[in-house]
Structure 1
Amino acid sequence: MTSSVTSTKHIAELNIGRLVAEPGDARVAEFMGALDKINGMGKRMPGFVWMAEGSGEPGTGNTENNIGNDPKFVANLTVWEDVESLEHFVFNTVHKQFYDRREEWFELMQDQHFVMWYVEPGHKPTLDEALERLAYKQKHGDSDQAFGWSYIKEAKLFREKSCRPVAAE
């Protein structure tokens, strides 16, 4: 649980999940209806840098960033100035209410589905790059190349407020 990265780097994160139903289904309607609000709030948070965007259509969030042409398999890819900014958004905003209820909308995934890594300021990772980082973490475990919350000593809210393990970290 260490990190040798300087504070000049930004942090990228990929969180993938598989919805319990396709995006238009009533079983995921509450989640889908909140995406624009949560993503919009995230974009206004101190420390937010960039988010991979979907079509921009209301109620779709980034769900067009699906994996393997499976509309139920969605990805969220963002870049933040630092771990503390990302952690604050995840655990100290309305996002936490949805985080706590993720098992209502997402299947329990057996494989790891969340990864973070450091990037140079200005870099906007692609979904393919992010999936490579996730695969690296799955194969090698936490390292400076790809890691989860527990690898970062600065991640304090994660230790206090996360409720693991369920559908999406």
Structure 2
Amino acid sequence: MPIAQINVARFRVAKDDPANADFMAALDHVNAMAEASDGFVWRLVGDGGNATDIAAIPDDPDFIVNMSVWRDVPSLEAFAYRQADHRAVLARRKDWFNPMEPSMALWPVAEGHEPSVSEGMAMLAKLGAEGPGDGVFTFRWWRENRTAKA
């Protein structure tokens, strides 16, 4: 079953501040790497070719959202944690973003479904309120439960 993911962040300083230049410069390349990855299905794209211009929270321009759909959790996990260029950006997230919990959620979606930002934000809120389960979860929960069921 396909899996959707949302990850969100709030910049430490204004989005267009020079302190964020390395992050912004890496987006096109990292998004291209995602699209070329085995198991990639879809990603949220705004007017600028990435999702940083999509207002997930009205009047909060420094809050950004990233959403995508993948064939399955292993294909998303391979990109997120083993693709070198994505890992390099991920390793620097504390340079650019304030800590948030939860900042990422995964959930199963029907074949062909492209989730909306409001759906993704609702899943993130559900994860925060109820914790992980079959309907919305984290990589850690998925690994622990996949292993327990095997």
CA–CA distance in structure 1, aligned partners of residues 97 and 145 of structure 2: 24
Structure 2 alignment gaps of length 5 or more: none
Displacement of 1:37 in angstroms is 0.6
Query: Would you tell me which structure has more helix in proportion to its own residues?
Result: 2
CA–CA distance in structure 2, aligned partners of residues 51 and 154 of structure 1: 26
Between Structure 1 and Structure 2, how many residues are aligned? 144
Does structure 1 retain, via aligned residues, the 8 Å contact 2:77–2:139? no
Structure 1 residues 152 and 113: alpha-carbon distance in aligned structure 2, compared to 1, 3 A threshold: same
Does structure 2 retain, via aligned residues, the 8 Å contact 1:87–1:155? no
Matched, 1:12 2:4: yes
Matched, 1:67 2:56: yes
Which residue in the other structure is 1:159 paired with? Answer: none
- TM normalised by structure 1 equals 0.80
CA–CA distance in structure 2, aligned partners of residues 106 and 155 of structure 1: 30
Displacement of 1:55 in angstroms is 0.7
CA–CA distance in structure 2, aligned partners of residues 154 and 140 of structure 1: 18
Which residue in the other structure is 1:26 paired with? Answer: 18
Displacement of 1:72 in angstroms is 0.7
Structure 1 residues 145 and 155: alpha-carbon distance in aligned structure 2, compared to 1, 3 A threshold: closer
- TM normalised by structure 2 equals 0.90
Q: After TM superposition, what 4+ stretches of structure 1 lie above 4 angstroms from structure 2?
A: none
Per-residue CA distance 1:63-99 (angstroms, 9 max, x = gap) = 0123223111000000000111111111111100111
Displacement of 1:154 in angstroms is 7.7
CA–CA distance in structure 1, aligned partners of residues 105 and 3 of structure 2: 10
Q: CA RMSD in A?
A: 1.7
Structure 1 alignment gaps of length 5 or more: 1-8, 157-169
Does structure 2 retain, via aligned residues, the 8 Å contact 1:83–1:154? no
Picking from 137, 152, 159, the partner of 2:142 is: 152
Does structure 2 retain, via aligned residues, the 8 Å contact 1:83–1:155? no
Map of 1:115-130 to 2, 5 A cutoff? 115-130=105-120
CA–CA distance in structure 1, aligned partners of residues 55 and 9 of structure 2: 9
Picking from 53, 73, 95, the partner of 2:86 is: 95
Map of 1:41-120 to 2, 5 A cutoff? 41-56=33-48, 61-69=50-58, 70-93=60-83, 94-109=85-100, 111-120=101-110
Per-residue CA distance 1:143-162 (angstroms, 9 max, x = gap) = 11111111113899xxxxxx
CA–CA distance in structure 1, aligned partners of residues 82 and 27 of structure 2: 17
